[in-house]
């Protein structure tokens, strides 16, 4: 595929109003791709519109919104060539105390929305025998942590889903790539501290909850403890442009170290390692 042809490819990026999604949409637009940036908060994407992106209002948990945006792209540009499944949220709190309806909603956003969008874009990719599906997981798609079970479970599920999808779609020249961010300076990073303490701060898991909250506050306050979202935008662009991309890209502060220790330590040794990190 020539570079000139590649610049005309059409990308759909979810969670485009902030953080990694916005950085990815910006990186793709600057590189010449046609970019649809999807999010609920369209008003926060005026800067992307100025770069040539096409903002679209989408709630990824609503099937009618997902169908509508894919149909719009098909009418206007022939179909989605590149899907960046980035929309996500984090729910922290003990398994015992975190509300189950919140856990279900997290799976709707972090997992089932990605799966549904994938179903909708695959026919076009398969017919043209070319496509890129980029699923933004997390370092916690490989590494567990206390009080993060519902979030970690959603990312573990996305990793397994992506591995199966990659094997299924390789015959159609469709690449499936997993992105595993480490500590990234995005709104999602600090947004879970208050819910964490609301759910588990005063109960039987309160000591761990407060240690975790303090750890994240201290990390956020120190320079160099989180990577800019632009790093992930550049990483995703690299994966999309690669003729034969890696199956996984881990980038951002701390993620490669954490994955390394998880790979080589036993389960209980890693449990102790995580608890020592929290102090």
In total, how many domains does the chain have? 1
Residue-wise pLDDT for 257-274, tens only, equals: 889 989 999 999 999 988
Residue 61 domain-assigned?
Answer: yes
Predicted pLDDT at 185: 79
Structure tokens at 162: 């992506």
Structure tokens at 241: 């442009």
269: phi then psi, degrees, rounded to nearest 5: -65, -40
- Using a 10 angstrom Cβ sphere, with 0-12 exposed, 13-18 middle and 19 or more buried, the burial of residue 172 is middle
Residue 124 domain-assigned?
Answer: yes
For residue 160, the enclosing domain spans: 3-189+227-277
Neighbours of 111 (CB within 10 A): 20
153 beta partners? none
Residue 222 domain-assigned?
Answer: no
Structure tokens at 27: 């990186």
Neighbours of 248 (CB within 10 A): 17
Residue 219 domain-assigned?
Answer: no
Q: Can you tell me which residue has the tokens 């026919």?
A: 123
Residue 19, Ramachandran bin (φ over 0: left; ψ between -120 and 50: alpha; else beta): left
Predicted pLDDT at 70: 98
Q: Are 93 and 199 in contact (CB under 8 A)?
A: yes
Q: Are 255 and 248 in contact (CB under 8 A)?
A: no
Q: Are 60 and 38 in contact (CB under 8 A)?
A: yes
Task: Check 33, 92, 151, 199 and give the catalytic one.
Answer: 151
CATH of the domain at 99: 3.40.50.720
Distance of CA 85 to the CA centre of its chain: 6
Residue 247 domain-assigned?
Answer: yes
CA–CA gap between residue 27 and residue 233 (Å, rounded): 6
Residue 70 domain-assigned?
Answer: yes
Cα torsion angle, 20, 145, 155, 89, sign: negative
86: phi then psi, degrees, rounded to nearest 5: -115, -25
Cα torsion angle, 89, 93, 96, 102, sign: negative
Residue-wise pLDDT for 188-234, tens only, equals: 655 678 889 999 999 999 999 998 888 778 766 666 678 888 999 99
Residues (pLDDT < 70) of the chain are 1-7, 187-191, 219-224
Predicted pLDDT at 190: 59
Structure tokens at 161: 């889903």
Residue 196 domain-assigned?
Answer: no
Residue 19 domain-assigned?
Answer: yes
Does the active-site annotation cover 249?
no
């Amino acid at each position: 595929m020539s570079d000139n042809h590649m610049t005309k490819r059409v990308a759909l990026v979810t969670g485009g109003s902030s953080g990694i999604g916005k950085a990815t949409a910006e990186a793709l637009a600057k590189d010449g791709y046609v970019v649809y940036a999807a999010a609920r908060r369209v008003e926060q994407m005026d800067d992307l519109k100025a770069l040539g992106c096409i903002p679209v209002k989408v709630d990824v948990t609503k099937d009618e919104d997902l169908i509508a945006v894919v149909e719009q792209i098909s009418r206007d540009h022939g179909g989605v060539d590149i899907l960046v499944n980035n929309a996500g949220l984090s729910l922290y709190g003990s398994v015992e105390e975190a509300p189950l309806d919140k856990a279900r909603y997290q799976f709707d956003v972090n997992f089932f929305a990605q799966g549904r969008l994938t179903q909708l874009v695959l026919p076009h990719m398969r017919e043209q025998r070319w496509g890129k599906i980029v699923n933004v997981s997390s370092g916690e798609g490989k590494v567990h942590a206390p009080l993060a079970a519902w979030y970690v479970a959603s990312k573990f599920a996305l990793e397994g889903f992506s591995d199966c999808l990659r094997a299924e779609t390789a015959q159609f020249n469709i690449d499936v790539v997993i992105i595993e961010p480490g500590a990234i300076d995005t709104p999602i990073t600090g947004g879970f501290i208050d819910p964490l303490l609301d759910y588990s701060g005063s109960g039987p898991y309160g000591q761990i909850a407060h240690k975790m909250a303090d750890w994240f506050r201290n990390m956020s306050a120190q320079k160099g403890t989180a990577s800019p979202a632009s790093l992930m935008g550049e990483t995703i662009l690299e994966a999309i442009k690669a003729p034969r991309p890696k199956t996984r890209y881990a980038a951002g502060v701390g993620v490669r170290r954490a994955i390394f220790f998880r790979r080589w330590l036993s389960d209980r040794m890693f449990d102790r390692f995580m608890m020592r990190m929290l102090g």
